[in-house]
Amino acid sequence: MPAFERLLDPVLGITGEHEFIKGFKFDIAIPLSEYFQISQTWEIPNSGIKEDNGNMMQAMMMGKGPAKPTYSFMAQLAKEVTNPYEAPGLLMMGKADGEGRVDSVLLKKLNNNFMLKLSANFMNSKTEDGALAGDLEYSDNDSEGAVKLQHHPMQGLVGSLQYMQRVHRNLMLGFDYTQLFSHKKSMFSYGSKVFLGSHVLYASSIQGGAQYHLGYIIPIRRGTNFVSHYKYEPEGGSTAIVGLKQRAETVDISATINSKGKATTILGIKSVPLGLKLCA
């Protein structure tokens, strides 16, 4: 059962905005024990990229890489791991980079149905520019819900209630209610997931009609999926994207083309402790 905020992940994981690397990126992960591992990332852009300090945060949110060399360090502790396909009973993760950005996450499974999540994100040393969030999530075989409260540097205090319910073996329905307390504004989002044999159809309305999404996934064979995605924004018009993703044990390949003629290809190779990503 997917959480509402992750409903479109199978579609957007192929057709959505990705981190494109105009230069070189090198990852190395080092497991120090059964529960603890560290990873380091070096990213070196090509010399033709110029930095725009005024839009740095916007570029990061849109998945664009940095305009100067960066280094980041991450440490992760996972305990009470009973199933590799489920979240561990306790997960703590911290990440910092040379630009002063710091991210941290704490996940704690309270029981078989409830999970607590605490997170903090700081773009620089100014704590007033940071974001703090606390989530309480509930899940069972036929439903998943969450209550979230966060403080965002631009939106202020934000609260939300999310819920997904299986109403039929082939149909899931869900909604999100978000309250912007500082702006005294409310927003509703709705979504559905429909199983048509081995095919899956997704539909959603995001943030009170700011975006509409239709997605369709067709499994061609094991590890290979064809996806089509239609997105409509009242202020920005519509975009249609078709794509193909091939996933193997250590290699991921995805290719997409949209209605504006933009083609994208991404090759990812993962072989512990090293990782390589190529974009075109």
- The pLDDT tens digits for 90-124 are 999 999 988 888 999 999 999 989 999 999 998 87
Number of domains present in the structure of the chain: 1
With cut-offs at 50, 70 and 90, classify the pLDDT of residue 241: very high
What is the mean pLDDT of the segment spanning 154-167? 93
pLDDT at 19: 63
**Would you state the pLDDT for residue 172?**
95
pLDDT tier at 275, thresholds 50, 70, 90: low
Domain with residue 73: its CATH number is 2.40.160.10
What does the mean pLDDT of the chain come to? 84
Query: Residue 1: how many CB atoms within 10 A of its CB?
Result: 14
**pLDDT confidence of residue 63:** 46
**In the predicted structure, residue 152 carries a pLDDT above the cut 90:** no
Give the whole-number percent of the chain exceeding pLDDT 90. Answer: 47
Mapping DSSP onto H, E and C, the string for 34-63 reads: CCEEEEEEEEEECCCCCCCHHHHHHHHHCC
pLDDT of residue 160: 95
157 lies in which domain range? Answer: 4-279
Looking at residue 18, its pLDDT comes to: 66
pLDDT in tens, 11-61: 988 888 766 666 677 788 888 888 899 999 888 776 554 444 444 444 444
Average pLDDT, stretch 189-203?
94
The answer to whether the beta carbons of residues 163 and 143 sit under 8 Å apart is yes
Judged against a pLDDT cut of 70, whether residue 156 lies above it is answered with: yes
What confidence score (pLDDT) does residue 170 get?
A: 94
pLDDT value at position 272? Answer: 60
Q: Which pLDDT score, from 0 to 100, does residue 4 have?
A: 84
- pLDDT above 70 for 271: no
